[in-house]
Structure 1
Amino acid sequence: MNYEIVELNEKTVVGITTRTSNTDRNMTKLIGGLWYKFFNNGIYESISNKKNNCSIGLYSNYENNENGLYDVTVCCEVSTCENLPVDVQVKKIPAGKYAKFVVNGHVQTAVSEFWTKLWSMDLNRKYSCDFEEYQSDGDMENCEIHMYISIN
């Protein structure tokens, strides 16, 4: 898979979080349920001060690289943390070096294929924070997703 190395500034994001692992049989259901809740329960619309129209799937707080528990946060980037809804969390995406991949296609297929390929790559991952930034306008069939993987 092709990627470029980018340096990112710190980002502040707001959203909802769950904890899971890659060995959890309910992982896909938990993450899918989080996305459903974020959009269908009005959370996305209730967040003010969005920096853009992108939604983000954030993976952080890794227990043991890809083998342990980690947090999944469905969120969006904000410019300020004022007037936030009650049931959301504020998280920081740390500044630093990331491998940036661009994937296209049906959202579930593209994301699943990306992570399967990434796990077999020899990439010097930092496991501090990884995220998917969804660029498209809600078209689930033809989505463009920027994948950022923290690296050393």
Structure 2
Amino acid sequence: MRTDTLTSPLAVAGIALRTNNLEAAETIPPQWGAFFDGGGVTQIPHRLGDDVVAVYTAFANEGENNDGDYTFVIGCIVPEGSAPPQGLATVTVPASDRLVFPVAAGRPDLVGEAWQQIWARTDLAKTFVADFERYSAEGDIEISIGVRPQQ
């Protein structure tokens, strides 16, 4: 784990799904399939690279916890203010303090387990505003969660 600061908002355009943690095992894997069946990164115009980003945001209990529904968007980073193409959505991860958890390169099958470990930690001052997974074109995987600034 490392600390990081997102100094400016991060806009991500992609396909959106409203889901929750009780349904995620059934709803999120098909969403990944739909992203790649729809052309993957090539369906995102004006993308700033070929990294794939999966954002969890618009939590029903924003600021409190990840219980309830949230919006899940799989896509690419785009310039802030970019209008998404028809059928796609844009979400913004606000500038924020973050904790970044690496996942073994090339092992997206370990992401769910990594999330379970993060959720189990009660020592993290999570914001529950916008968290994301970043899959680099080179195979690196990271989970980035928003945290409250240290007092």
Same fold (TM over 0.5): yes
**Residue 6 of structure 2 corresponds to which residue in structure 1?**
7
Distance (Å, rounded) in 2 between the aligned partners of 1:20 and 1:46: 23
Task: Indicate the RMSD between aligned Cα atoms, in angstroms.
Answer: 1.7
Instruction: Confirm or deny: 8 A CA contact 1:127 1:150 kept in the other structure.
Output: yes
Shift of 1:132: 0.3
* TM score, norm. by length of structure 2: 0.85
Q: Is this contact kept in 1: 2:52–2:137, CA < 8 A?
A: no
Deviation at 1:40, TM superposition (A): 1.1
- Which ranges of structure 1 fall in alignment gaps of 5 or more residues? 138-142
Match of 1:28 among 7, 25, 29: 25
Distance 2:4 2:41 in 1: 30
How does 1:75-94 map onto structure 2 within 5 Å?
75-79=75-79, 81=82, 84-94=84-94
CA distance in 2, matches of 1:11, 1:5: 14
Q: Which residue does the alignment assign to 1:124?
A: 125
C-alpha distance in 1 between matches for 2:28 and 2:53: 12
Contact 2:10 2:92 in 1 (8 A): yes
Whether 1:58 and 2:59 are equivalent positions in the alignment is no
Question: CA separation in 2, counterparts of 1:135 and 1:42?
Answer: 17
Compute the TM-score of the two structures, normalised by the length of structure 1. Answer: 0.84
Question: How far has the Cα of 1:149 moved from its partner?
Answer: 0.2
**C-alpha separation in 2, matches of 1:115 and 1:102:** 11
Partner of 2:18: 19
Extract unaligned runs of 5+ from structure 2. Answer: none
Distance in 2 between the 1:72 and 1:15 partners?
A: 10
Match of residue 134 from structure 2: 133
CA distance in 1 between counterparts of 2:112 and 2:3 reads 20
Instruction: Give 1:86 shift.
Output: 1.0
Runs of 4+ in 1 over 4 A off after TM superposition: none
* Deviation digits for residues 54-85 of structure 1 (CA, Å, limit 9, x no counterpart): 00110001113122111111111012626x43
The structure that is strand-richer by fraction is: 1
The question of 1:148 aligning with 2:149 is answered no
